[in-house]
Structure 1
Amino acid sequence: MSKRKIDSRIPRCQSLIGTTFEVIKMLGGSATIQEITDKIIEILKLPDEIVDIQHSDSGNTTELEYQLAWARTYLKNSKIIENSKRGVWSLTSEFSNGVTIDVKGIIKNTVEKRKIKTQDNVSDEEVLEENEDEVPEEVRPWRRHIREVLINMDPYGFERLSQRLLRECGFSQVVVTKKSGDGGIDGNGKFRINGIFSFNVAFQCKRYKGVVGSPEIRNFRGSLTTDVEKGVFITTGTFSISAKDEASKPGKKQIDLIDGEEFINKLAEYEIGLKEIKDYEIDEEFFKSI
């Protein structure tokens, strides 16, 4: 197994299993990934410098997000939570009414399944070490592949892709400005709510392999003209905590953020350049016990 060095200040997935379950329960039995992440950061009082540490093998996932993805995968494999195509995680009916979970049992179950899969004579601790060939459900190989495709796209091609995605999301009159320059506007359009209310929106697209900070958000906001009521910042990377805070500062023009994970989710949802292939999870224990 290939071991990856992880900052010791970041909570590991095994320690996040119970907290993730309690947070989903606390949020009414269902929550988006961002809601789960934000609540765990609040509960564990994690400072920004820890939250913003990037996962070493990914340009648009933080290490905390990666560990939380594993925690959700453990819970899902134990049929405690389930997720919808829109990225909403919810408690299964069996665990929706105040039932407690056995975290040690969940981990033990994972250890046994991995031992069967690898057929290696290794200790439990070694089994729990990350294998470079294994990834949590939310970080599947196709997602890594599409990230690289997006990062290596022609800049104007990425802007046109963002234009297409915004149209699918309900925007109209979406125009790419075809002007370059950091901090500037890459395009604009209108967003209509319930066929009545409409907003003038400007957007910026950045193919980042890393973290977008608060200076980029401030620069973008500074480029917005008075007739623009809202801004949308799209990136293939992630947004730092300070960038998120800056985007939603009271009294200032609000900026909506679409990070790499959300961008990929939307591409999959609207099947833009992606086609779903049905797959099956094999329950080896079933075939052994029947």
Structure 2
Amino acid sequence: MARQRAEFTQWLGPVLDALKALDGSGKPREVCDHIAEHCDVPTSILDATLKSGQTRFYNQVHWARQYLVWEGLLDGSTHGVWSLTKSGYEARVDEFDARKIVAKWVKIHAAARKSAIPVTEHADDPASPELEEEEDSAILLEILKKVTPEGFERICARLLRESGFERVTVTGRPKDGGIDGYGVLQINPFVSFRVLFQCKRYKGVVSRAQVGDFRNAMIGRADKGIILTTGSFSSDARAEAEREGAPPVELVDGERLVSMFERARLGVKEKTVYEVDHAFFAGFMGSET
């Protein structure tokens, strides 16, 4: 019974509410930010990380979304946008409803695996969000953490080139205020931006002070800055990056970094994976399950 009260259960209702406020659809980060703001999520929760470096709050919100997909309240599309179904628009999920949904799908998954699906010793448990660390995206993130600091700078430069930047150069100069390189983003034949970037290859949380130091180093030298890390950013760091009246700093955390590698097909190979649709089989299970 303890598993049915998993921490992520509390976010099912807020995910629905956030998507309704976002006119029915939104990027995962938009949904998480909306929940954090409107549910007054404490900084200690927003900044907590898993062993992989992934933000625990972000991980839990993703699992809440997965249960809503199984329940038919969210679209199961994997194109990086979460969207409500017709039922999702009409649904209201409080904490009691959320626990019922989670308990229902834990039971369905358990019955399906017991009756028809071979289960390995370490098979994914839909009631245990931490197991998401074992997925391919987490493996890629772990590999990025193991490259040398210089290698991480070079691979980030490659990612920027693959993402449309030109004249990307890694400076390789220490004591340069945290500036690891620069590039030019050509918006159109008339407009371009000089961008400085910083690469932080570690598991830690980038602080507000580090974002501020980077911005101070880039003032007068570029139109925009980018910090790429295999770790995460504190909520204060994100607020500093978006501070009104200051030069903008784009923050790319480990989760976003992995998605950018996947989108650019850089260092990854595409594969086809079929996932068992437990919802399909639910109606064929006997009452004893």
For 1:19, the equivalent position in structure 2 comes to 14
- Could you tell me which residue of structure 2 aligns to residue 71 of structure 1? 64
Identity %: 36
Give the structure-2-normalised TM-score: 0.83
In structure 2, C-alpha distance between the alignment counterparts of 1:168 and 1:68, rounded to whole Å: 30
Question: Which position in structure 2 is the counterpart of 1:123?
Answer: none
1:213 matched residue in structure 2: 207
Question: What is the 5 A alignment of 1:228-239?
Answer: 228-239=222-233
Q: Which amino acid aligns with 2:271?
A: I
Of 37, 43, 46, the residue aligned with 2:32 is 37
Partner of 2:121: none
The answer to whether the aligner puts 1:169 opposite 2:167 as a matched pair is: no
CA distance in structure 1 between the aligned counterparts of 2:45 and 2:98, rounded to whole angstroms: 24
Instruction: Kindly provide the amino acid, as one letter, of the partner of residue 90 in structure 2.
Output: G
Match of 1:90 in 2: 83
SS in 2 for 1:82: coil
C-alpha distance in 2, partners of 1:72/1:129?
13
Q: Report the TM-score, using the length of structure 1 for normalisation.
A: 0.83
Q: CA deviation at 1:194?
A: 3.3
Correspondence for 2:120 = none
* Cα distance in 2, alignment partners of residues 228 and 86 from structure 1: 32
- Give the equivalent residue in structure 2 for 1:130: 128
Residues 81-121 of structure 1, C-alpha deviations (whole Å, 9 max, x = no match)? 235555211113x336434465355223312123225649x
What is aligned with 2:178?
184
Instruction: Give how far 1:173 is off.
Output: 0.8
Secondary structure in 2 matching 1:289: coil
What is the aligned length? Answer: 270
Alignment partners' CA distance in 2, 1:224 and 1:82: 41
Equivalent in the alignment of 2:251: 257
Check the 8 A contact 1:85/1:269 in 2, yes or no: no
Partner of 1:103: 98
Over the residues paired in the alignment, what is the CA RMSD in angstroms? 2.8
Which residue does the alignment assign to 1:224? 218
After superposing the two structures, state which structure 1 stretch, 178-187 or 162-171, moved more: 178-187
SS of the residue 2:169 aligns to: strand
Tell me: CA distance 1:152–1:128, structure 2 relative to 1, closer, same or farther (3 Å): closer
Paired residues for 1:268-287 under 5 Å: 268-283=262-277, 286=281
Q: Which runs of 5+ in 2 are unaligned?
A: 116-124
What residue is the counterpart of 1:115 in the other structure?
A: 110
Separation of aligned partners in 2, 1:179 and 1:280 = 47
Shift of 1:241: 0.7
Task: Tell me, yes or no, if structure 1 residue 204 matches structure 2 residue 194.
Answer: no
Change (3 A) 1:107 1:288: closer
Further displaced range: 82-91 or 274-283: 82-91
1:289 aligned to 2:260? no
Contact 2:59 2:129 in 1 (8 A): no
Distance apart, 1:183 and its partner CA: 4.2
The answer to whether the 8 Å contact 1:213/1:243 transfers is yes
- Judging changes above 3 Å, is the alpha-carbon distance between structure 1 residues 206 and 131 closer, same or farther for their aligned structure 2 residues? closer
Verify: 1:193 aligned to 2:187, yes or no: yes
Identify if the C-alpha distance between structure 1 residues 78 and 140 changes in structure 2 by more than 3 Å, giving closer, same or farther: farther
State the 1:49 CA deviation: 2.4
Distance between the aligned counterparts of 1:86 and 1:163, measured in 2? 25
Superposition deviation, residue 199 in structure 1: 0.8
- Return 5+ residue gaps in structure 1 as ranges: 121-126
Q: CA deviation digits over 1:167-196, x for unaligned, max 9?
A: 122211111112235842111011122343
Give the 3-state SS of the residue equivalent to 2:14 in structure 1: helix
Q: Report the residue type matching 1:199 in the other structure.
A: F
